[in-house]
Amino acid sequence: MTHRVTFVRGARSIEVAVVLFALLLGLAVTPRTAHAGTITAGDPTTTSADPKAVVFKVTVQAPSGLQTATLDYKLFNPDTTVGGSQQAEVNGSTATEVTVTLNTNSNERYIPIGSFFRYTWTLVDKDGTRVVTPERSFVFLDGRYQWQEKTTGNFTVYWYGDNVRNADLALQAAAASTADNEKLLNVKLTYPIRLVVWRRESEGEAAQQSRGGSFDRQVVTGGARVAPDVVHLYDPIGGFVDVVRHEIAHIVTKVAGDGPFGRLPSWIDEGTAVFAQTDPGGYRFALQSAIQSDNLTRLRAMSSPANQANKVDIFYGQSWATVKYMVDKHGQPKFADLYKTFRASGDMDGALKQVYGVDQDGLYNEWRQSVGLKPIEFPPEASTGSPQAQGTRAPLGIGVPGAGGTVSQGAGGDGATTPATASGSKTLPAIIVGLATLAMAAGMGFGAFRLLKKPKTRV
């Protein structure tokens, strides 16, 4: 009997210890805030009041307070994927709208209208909870206008206002120019192209990448290949079809000639683009005047675009005439082979020697003789470096041209809209709680062990 009484007292002591242990353990693992892991985000939005910037916004509920909000974006084109990150300013509020303004046309960055974006927001609260919103996508368009779009085959055109006729012409001319240049260069364009059409050059001026105030004031830009899959068309008056044909030719020349070791010299790139027009327009007259005065330029000095306004028309005219001479005299197969050979090597002199048996100086002298001029001896001249893209410059038959430059889903198209999910990032607090729990468990266990070992007493 005495033994039974003593045993019951010990059991009650154990029960007390276990209950106390459970209470302490519960306190140890209870979160410091009841709202941890409950970040919620509204639907992200994008706006662009003009071609100079895109504004990204998202509303956030973070009961423990928002610590950081980071925009991650990517730009897609057939050549590569580029992107970046930008943090929004946050004030630690539990409910807030976070905003990032991405400048798109500045000295530091040029993201052309028509670019294809994908983006997410990464949100972190003061407890360390991290949420990444579902990826969204959109085509960046000039927010000053109400854009419409139409897709035919591999081409999507964007236009606004009463400009549907030029939108249709752009689709037709783009398809025709692609077919002609694929045949000329023996290549195939495999990816979709976007065409962005402004009603007039002045309305699209803010979307252009400036080449300097003086140059821009003196030269009309009819259009530009601003990406491997995006063409801008700024001046649809008069020679619009040839502007389209010219810029689409730049899309195909890039596929045929730009390779891992170099980009096409401007003289062959621009010459092929003017050759794609139905007529070279005012470039022919500028060239005739230059031939009469022998005011021409060595080919290897034409690897980059003309950087003086009064040289633009002669540059395009001489480039066109050189390409026309090569195709007319030596045929299309050799011309396509030159592109293929250059793409593999990045060396125009070497490619010309392999296909035509002459370097750039030799080709220039051959062409000079074909227009009634004497060949000349050239002093050695250093390379001027890789050519840079530019827009099509006047004339184009109407007093417009030039070229080259830098993603299909409709404007403002969204991706998945499933709710954001939180992934815990509380490893360190968990470790601390675990260690504290083990310590308390060890202490309580030792106390219970001593209680069980107390000497039995008799009553």
List pLDDT tens digits, range 214-271.
666 666 788 999 999 999 999 766 689 999 999 999 999 999 999 999 999 999 999 9
pLDDT of residue 87: 96
Residues 126 and 163 in one domain: no
Do residues 310 and 327 both lie within one domain? yes
Structure tokens at 364: 């220039």
Q: Is residue 229 part of a domain?
A: yes
Kindly state whether residues 285 and 391 are assigned to the same domain: yes
170 with 283, same domain: the answer is yes
pLDDT at position 394 is 42
With tokens 């009841």, the residue in question is 34
Say whether both 344 and 200 belong to one domain. yes
Residue 457 placed within a domain:
no
C-alpha closest to that of 50 among 106, 119, 108, 97: 106
Distance CA 425, CA 101 (A): 28
Tokens of 213: 């105030």
Residue 217: per-residue pLDDT: 67
Residue 99 exposure: Cα atoms within 13 Å on the Cβ side: 8
The reported pLDDT for the residue numbered 63 is 94
Residue 417 lies in a domain: no
The verdict on residue 410 lying in a domain is: no
Sort strands 401-402 and 116-125 into parallel, antiparallel or unpaired.
unpaired
Give burial (CB, 10 Å; 0-12/13-18/19+) of 452.
Answer: exposed
Same domain, 264 and 338: yes
| pTM for this model (two decimals) | 0.74
The secondary structure of 239-280 as a DSSP string is SHHHHHHHHHHHHHHHHHH-BTTB---HHHHHHHHHHTSS--
The answer to the question of residue 408 being in a domain is no
Residues 26 and 66 in one domain: no
Which strands sit side by side in the sheet containing 230-233, from one edge to the other? 147-152, 155-160, 193-197, 230-233, 221-227, 392-393, 401-402
Statement to judge: residues 108 and 232 lie in one domain: no
Is residue 425 within 8 A of residue 128, CB to CB? The reply is yes
Q: Return d(Cα 288, Cα 272) in angstroms, integer.
A: 19
The domain spanning residue 397 has which CATH number? 1.10.390
* Cα distance between residue 290 and residue 60, in whole Å: 64
Range of the domain at 18: 2-34+430-452
Query: Residue 3's pLDDT is what?
Result: 36
Local confidence pLDDT in tens for the 459 residues of the chain: 333 333 334 444 444 343 344 444 443 433 333 344 589 999 999 999 999 999 999 999 999 999 999 999 999 989 888 999 999 999 888 999 999 999 999 988 999 999 999 999 999 999 999 999 999 999 999 999 999 999 999 999 999 999 999 999 999 999 999 999 999 999 999 999 999 999 998 999 999 987 776 666 666 788 999 999 999 999 766 689 999 999 999 999 999 999 999 999 999 999 999 999 999 999 999 999 999 999 999 999 999 988 788 889 999 999 999 999 999 999 999 999 999 999 999 999 999 999 999 999 999 999 999 999 999 998 765 554 444 445 554 444 333 333 343 222 222 222 222 233 333 333 333 333 343 433 433 343 333 323 223 333 222
Two tokens at 456? 């039995």
Nearest by Cα to 60 from 92, 8, 85, 96: 96
Q: How many residues does the chain have?
A: 459
Which residue, among 275, 281, 319, has the nearest Cα to 297 in the 3D structure?
Answer: 319
Residue 383 CB coordination number (10 Å): 11
Domain end, chosen from 80, 114, 142, is at 142
Domain boundary (85, 110, 142) is at 142
Look at residues 91, 111, 142 and tell me which one is the last residue of a structural domain.
142
Q: Clarify whether residues 212 and 245 are in a common domain.
A: yes
> What amino acid is encoded at 241 in this protein?
V
Residue 18's pLDDT is: 39
- 105 found inside a domain: yes
The number of domains in the chain is 3
Within a domain: residue 422? no
Tell me: do 135 and 155 sit in the same domain. Answer: no
Q: What ranges make up the beta strands (E) of 25-132?
A: 40-41, 45-47, 53-61, 66-76, 81-87, 95-103, 116-125, 130-132
pLDDT for res 20: 41
Q: Which residues pair with 402 in a beta bridge?
A: 392
Task: Give the rounded distance of the alpha carbon of 255 from its chain centre.
Answer: 18
How many Cβ atoms are within 10 Å of 20's Cβ, its own excluded?
Answer: 13
Q: At what angle do helices 164-185 and 266-275 cross, to 10 degrees?
A: 120
pLDDT score, position 218: 65
Pair 214, 179 in one domain: yes
Same-domain pairing of 208 and 179:
yes
Rounded to 5 degrees, what angle do the CA atoms 212, 218, 219 make? 85
Residue 171 lies in a domain: yes
Q: Give residue for tokens 């939005």.
A: 45
